[in-house]
Amino acid sequence: MFDINSVKSLGLLKRLIKQLTLTSTVVIASGCQNPEHNPQGDVDTIGDAMSHCRQYTKAVLPEGTLIALDEWSSRETREYYDIYFDVSDSTQTGYAKCRVDKMGLITYHGTRDFRTKSRSFSGF
C-alpha cells in the first residue's frame, strides 16, 4: 500500500518546510529592527560599551550632531558602565550620558544643555 521511501520523503519534506519557515521568520524579524536603535548590544569591556553607546547616541540625536567621547569622565563599576560624550551641532553644545549594564543593555540615555527629544540628566 505505502512505499516506505515515499513516507520517508514526506517526513523529510515536512521537516525541510518547517526549517525554511523558521529560518525565514528569523531573517525577516531581524531585518525589521534597526540595530542602531537597539539598546541591547554585545558588551564585554568598557571599550565595547563606548562603541555601543556612541552608535545608540548617533541614532537618537538629530542627524549632523557631532559626538566626542569624554574618556576622562567615563567609568566602569561592578554593575554597569557610565559613558559620557560631548555633543554639538551648528547652534548648540552639550553633554550626553549613557549607562550600559554588564549584559550590554542601555539602561539610561540622556542629554544636558542640548535640546533634543531625549531626557535630561542632572549633575555629573
Distance CA 76, CA 84 (A): 12
Q: For 102, which DSSP code?
A: T
Q: Is residue 123 part of a domain?
A: no
Q: Is residue 121 part of a domain?
A: no
User: pLDDT for 25-43, tens place per residue?
Assistant: 444 444 444 455 788 888 9
Distance CA 111, CA 121 (A): 6
What is the pLDDT tens value at each position of the chain, 124 positions in all?
A: 555 566 566 666 677 666 655 555 444 444 444 455 788 888 999 999 999 999 999 999 988 899 999 989 999 999 999 999 999 988 889 999 999 999 999 999 998 877 654 444 444 4
Q: Is residue 95 part of a domain?
A: yes
**pTM for the full predicted model:** 0.62
Structural domain span for residue 26: 1-32
Number of domains in the chain: 2
